[in-house]
Amino acid sequence: MRVERLELDGPMLLYPNVHADDRGYFSETLSLRDRTCALPYFVQENESWTRRKGTLRGLHFQRGASAQAKLVRCLTGTVRDVIVDIRAGSPTRFRWLAVELSAHDHAMLFIPKGFAHGFLTLTDDVLFQYKTDAYYDPASEGAVRWNDPTLAVDWGVETPILSPKDAAAPFLEAANLG
């Protein structure tokens, strides 16, 4: 596993070893005995499929004791993945970063607790997988509007396809960050 630190403290890009041969490849995408970097114990694995390029899911988080660290990756297609530091007291609070994740480069993004997360599909047919270290808890779900002017995330699109819930998400000043 190769680890690439990012400009915010905590998130990491992880590149598992890939054993290629004539048939294709084999890769251990997660092993609890790999001590290359400290990862939490993941209790839930999620998968979402997105039909259309230009679809945006986010920016989402869970509050308090239900806060989730996530390990995310693309199984088919490519996304622009965005995380926003919403950690109380963090010197980089409200800074965001974006990385491209694609099925081709095998990259996984580790997102610690205390980050809001979203992604924009850059291709049709995106299969996205993520593990979380806390269970889904609808009562503690939070969101910030994708185009919040204070955050000013550069998504590279003006009119993404959104769920009704994400289209109506609160702006940062009204959001309950927990």
Ligand X SMILES: Cc1cn([C@H]2C[C@H](O)[C@@H](COP(=O)(O)OP(=O)(O)O[C@H]3O[C@@H](C)C(=O)[C@@H](O)[C@H]3O)O2)c(=O)[nH]c1=O
Name the token pair of 3: 């680890």
Q: How far is the CB of 124 from ligand X (least distance, A)?
A: 17
* Known catalytic residue at 117: no
Q: How far is the CB of 117 from ligand X (least distance, A)?
A: 4
Strand partners, 98: 82
CA 78 and chain centroid, separation: 13
Interacting residues toward ligand X by CB under 6 A: 46, 48, 57-58, 60, 117-119, 136, 163, 165
Question: Which tokens go with 125?
Answer: 């047919």
Q: Of 36 and 46, which has the nearer Cβ to ligand X?
A: 46
The sheet carrying 70-76 orders its strands as 2-5, 12-15, 108-111, 70-76, 126-132, 44-50
Write down the least CB distance from residue 169 to ligand X, Å: 10
Q: Among the options 117, 130, 135, 136, which is catalytic? A: 130
Query: Nearest-CB residue to ligand X?
Result: 136
User: One of 15, 25, 41, 60 is an active-site residue; which one?
Assistant: 60
Q: Which residue has the tokens 């041969």?
A: 21
Other C-beta atoms closer than 10 Å to the C-beta of 90 total 15
Beta pairing partners, 86: none
Task: Identify whether 130 is a catalytic site residue.
Answer: yes
Whichever of 36 and 170 has its CB closer to ligand X, that residue is: 170
Task: CB nearer to ligand X: give 56 or 106.
Answer: 56
Per-residue tokens: 75: 């199984």
Catalytic positions, written as ranges: 60, 130
